[in-house]
Amino acid sequence: MQVSLYRFMPGIYIHIPFCKQACHYCDFHFSTNLENRGAIVRALLEELVLQRDYLGGEQVNTLYFGGGTPSVLTPEELDQILDTVHKTFSVNPHAEVTLEANPDDLSREKLKALRQAGINRLSVGIQSFDDVVLKFLHRAHDAALARRCISDAYEVGFQNISLDLIYAIPDQDEVVWERNIEEALRLKPQHISSYSLTIEEKTTFGRWAAKGKLTPVADDTAGHQLLVLVDRLERAGFEQYEVSNFSLPGFQSKHNSSYWRSEKYLGVGPSAHSYDGVSRQFNVSNNAFYLKALQERRIPATIEVLTREDQINDYLLTTLRTSWGTDLARILNLWGYDLLAAHEGYIGALVENGHALLESRVLRLTKNGKLLADKIASDLFLLTP
């Protein structure tokens, strides 16, 4: 199913920089010291008020709690944040409100309280249904708990649930990966996000790899595992509407889709990013510095004004990963750049090789083309003069 090209309203992303424990693969900004949790929540409330004009008064369509692990917050703390958002911004009464969560935080009582606080979409970090793999990743839950929390979420009334899975895990054979996919489908989620394990330098896995204790999975093996996932999910009625994201009809992530459409969004919290159409803003990735700045009523952010080339390249990078593709007419109308004329031979070769489709001046990558999405985008990038 093709997603329509209507204009999305802005979204707000709220970064919760805490986790109970550090997964071996994660390089996002977080702390396992929860002592400053209350102070961080107060700082988030202050930043929301200070940023009240960032979105130009436009109605907010999505709220997204990411991290870190937002589910470490209490429902009362989440309610405080949501209350401030609603008092400070014009929020669509039917806004999508997503909370990233780990299974070990989702007791039945917690799930009920989250629903009452206004969370209407869960993104649950399951990653695997194999207990050996979960231990290897240093996750805090086991497969039984993952299954139970999803069952409980449905029983308390959640109707929009996304599951995260990781593939390209060293020593995970194809049988284990296929079993993970089947386990996920048995839980009947509306959405699945699946990411290739990336070995980042400053993580435990990165240190193991540097010492020769861990060998990353080869790119062709990772690509094969992704195609196995795509094929199985398509047979189950899911659409791959972005390289790493799959949904049943009508359950695409509205929040993340706005990112991929280059719509405005406000990010609050340590390390959060914001985009207003012409510039990007990057909050400091340090809890202590963030707290000090907000106590002084300052937003600790670096601002990058985007050039015409930056804006075109960002649009290419995000839209080529999606099912709706890259609108070449939009690039011409907004930025005066005829991408097709500039790269006619290259785009023609993509179509001829079965990596892309070109219809009505919209360039879409095929299933195999999406495996090369980032490279294709970089090949089409404008170079900064």
> What is the per-residue pLDDT for 107?
96
Same domain, 151 and 215: yes
Q: Rounded to an integer, what distance in angstroms lies between the CA atom of residue 241 and that of residue 253?
A: 10
> Does residue 40 belong to any structural domain of this protein?
yes
> What is the per-residue pLDDT for 241?
97
Q: What is the pLDDT of residues 201-259, one digit of tens each?
A: 989 999 999 999 999 999 999 999 999 999 999 999 999 999 999 999 999 999 999 99
Partnered with residue 363 across adjacent β-strands are: 326, 358
Domain count, the chain: 2
Domain finish residue from 196, 231, 260: 260
> What is the per-residue pLDDT for 284?
97
> What is the per-residue pLDDT for 173?
85
> Does residue 245 belong to any structural domain of this protein?
yes
Same domain, 31 and 140: yes
Same domain, 238 and 335: no
> What is the per-residue pLDDT for 5?
35
Same domain, 165 and 249: yes
Same domain, 61 and 206: yes
> Does residue 325 belong to any structural domain of this protein?
yes
The predicted model scores a pTM of 0.94
Q: What is the pLDDT of residues 108-156, one digit of tens each?
A: 999 999 999 999 999 999 999 999 999 999 999 999 999 999 999 999 9
Same domain, 177 and 251: yes
Rounded to 10 degrees, the C-alpha dihedral 37/39/42/48 comes to -80
- At 303, is the secondary structure helix, strand, or coil? strand
CB–CB of 98/124 below 8 Å? no
> Does residue 274 belong to any structural domain of this protein?
no
At which residue do the structure tokens 């495996």 appear?
A: 371
Same domain, 65 and 180: yes
> Does residue 266 belong to any structural domain of this protein?
no
Q: Rounded to an integer, what distance in angstroms lies between the CA atom of residue 326 and that of residue 257?
A: 13
Same domain, 323 and 252: no
> Does residue 221 belong to any structural domain of this protein?
yes
Best CA proximity match to 180, nearest among 160, 166, 162: 166
Same domain, 102 and 185: yes
Domain containing residue 317: 308-380
Q: Which two tokens stand for residue 143?
A: 């497969």
> What is the per-residue pLDDT for 3?
34
pLDDT in tens, the chain (385 residues): 333 333 457 999 999 999 888 898 888 888 888 889 999 999 999 999 999 999 999 999 999 999 989 999 999 999 999 999 999 999 999 999 999 999 999 999 999 999 999 999 999 999 999 999 999 999 999 999 999 999 999 999 999 999 999 999 998 889 999 999 999 999 999 999 999 999 999 899 999 999 999 999 999 999 999 999 999 999 999 999 999 999 999 999 999 999 998 899 999 999 999 999 899 999 999 999 999 999 999 999 999 999 999 999 999 999 999 999 999 999 999 999 999 999 999 999 999 999 999 999 999 999 999 999 999 999 999 976 5
Best CA proximity match to 129, nearest among 213, 194, 68: 194
Same domain, 138 and 20: yes
Q: How far is CA 197 from the centre of its chain?
A: 15
Q: Which two tokens stand for residue 344?
A: 């006619």
Same domain, 115 and 204: yes
- Kindly report the CATH number assigned to the domain that includes residue 373: 1.10.10.920
> Does residue 227 belong to any structural domain of this protein?
yes
- Kindly report the CATH number assigned to the domain that includes residue 87: 3.80.30.20
Contacts of 353 (CB under 8 A, 6+ apart): none
> Does residue 209 belong to any structural domain of this protein?
yes
